[in-house]
Amino acid sequence: MPEGDSIFRAARALHKALSGKSITRFESMFPALTRVADDRAIVGRTVDAVAARGKHVLMHLSGGLTLHTHMRMNGSWHLYRPGEPWRRPARDMRILLETPTAVAIGFNVPIAEFLTDRDLARHPALRALGPDLLAGAGSAGQTHGQPAFDRSEALRRLRQQSGGAIGDALLDQRVVAGIGNIFKSEVLFLARIDPFATVASLSDEQLGRVLDIAREQLAANVMTPSQTLSRARGIRTTRSLDPRATLWVYGRSAQPCRRCGATIQARKTGLDARLTYWCPVCQTRA
């Protein structure tokens, strides 16, 4: 599943390319979207804003209608100039939205729906989301209708997971929105916290440090090229000048810890059997 930073960057690119533009063509492989387009005329509407909320993308259209998509594991949004060849096969296209200057294609998007303003306010999955760790990291368009990050609420929701492991709690989007498997391992390494420690065993100070580091790391990874001197692509947490040293522990099982030299460990956890990476020396339990 994409991390919150990649969804944020996708929404930012879509917002830059589409906001203020009139829709000249709309197609979809989803019958429900097609029925709405037939009944409510998507062509002719203006894209008001595109915003990320956790791992959801919300494309707000004029007339009080929003296209809501969730990428799951394999979905992605691409942008092209009109007439430009696609980098993915046409059979993977699920949504096409065109303006005079850009074509947005949703490839292999598993979840897509049109929502009225009323639907949006009452949407169960969106209402259940925890505080968004990237709230406030973008422009007004990118945070369209999104509340500011509520650190106290995030701490309260973490505390509700008292018997669970902190690593699992961070992946629950109902606790905090935006963390995926890579940032889970990296943030807990930087906070020097064992990913298998129960939430109940951690102090408010430790949990607060986890949240602060998570916000800092996610924000750093959505910086535009003009905001950072780094030329590295992809997620980067180490701030090392070495282009190969992008991450502290994730994907580095059996390799030496960059901080202490101990051997990085990995273990599958949770219902989805996702790999958790950690340093057994730097991340000891309290």
**124 and 156 assigned to the same domain:** no
Whether 286 maps to a domain, the answer reads no
- Give the total number of structural domains in the chain: 2
Task: Tell me: do 74 and 183 sit in the same domain.
Answer: no
Residue with tokens 């505080």: 131
The domain of 103 spans 4-128
CB atoms within 10 A of CB 171: 20
Residue range 86-98, pLDDT digits in tens: 999 999 999 999 9
Residues 158 and 109 in one domain: no
Q: Does residue 26 lie in a domain region?
A: yes
Residue where a domain terminates, one of 128, 159, 182: 128
**Whole-number pLDDT of residue 135:** 86
How much is the pLDDT for 1?
54
Q: How far apart are the first and last CA of the chain?
A: 30
Lowest mean pLDDT among 124-133, 198-207, 231-240, 258-267: 231-240
Half-sphere exposure of 98 (CA within 13 A, CB side): 12
**Position 285 in a domain:** no
Q: CA–CA separation, 82 vs 285, rounded Å? A: 55
Q: Is 3 a catalytic residue?
A: yes
Phi then psi dihedrals of residue 46, to 5 deg: -105, 140
**Alpha-carbon gap, residue 107 to 29, rounded angstroms:** 10
CA distance 47 to 22: 6
Confidence of residue 232 (pLDDT cuts 50, 70, 90): very low
Distance between CA atoms of 156 and 169, rounded to whole angstroms?
12
> What is the tens place of the pLDDT at every residue in 244-256?
888 999 999 999 9
Q: Same domain for 96 and 14?
A: yes
Note whether residue 143 is domain-resident: no
CATH number of 219's domain: 1.10.8.50
Residue 142 has pLDDT above 90, yes or no: no
More confident position, 19 or 284: 19
* 265 located within any domain: yes
Q: Pull the structure tokens for residue 33.
A: 């979207």
Q: 118: buried, middle or exposed (CB in 10 Å: 19+, 13-18, 0-12)?
A: exposed
The pLDDT of residue 72 is: 83
Query: Is 2 an active-site residue?
Result: yes
pLDDT 10s digits, 172-223: 999 999 999 999 999 999 999 999 999 999 999 999 999 999 999 998 888 6
Give domain status of residue 172, yes or no.
Answer: yes
Mean pLDDT over 31-51 rounds to 95
Q: Are residues 76 and 107 in the same domain?
A: yes
Q: Please tell me whether residues 123 and 194 are part of one structural domain.
A: no
CATH of the domain at 77: 3.20.190.10
Model pLDDT, residue 243: 77
Residues 239, 184: one domain? yes
Indicate whether 155 and 271 sit together in one domain: yes
Co-location of 98 and 197 in the same domain: no
123 and 165 part of one domain: no
Structure confidence at residue 170 (pLDDT): 96
What does pTM read for this prediction?
0.84
Catalytic-role residue among 16, 21, 31, 55: 55
146 inside domain = no
Q: Which of 194, 247, 187 is nearest to 216 (CA)?
A: 187
Tokens matching residue 133:
């760790």
Sheet arrangement for strand 65-70: 47-53, 56-61, 65-70, 111-116
Burial class (CB in 10 A: 0-12, 13-18, 19+), 286: exposed
| Residue 135 belongs to a domain | no
200 and 97 in one domain? Answer: no
27 flagged as catalytic: no
What's the pLDDT at 141?
47
**Is the pLDDT reported for residue 67 higher than 70?**
yes
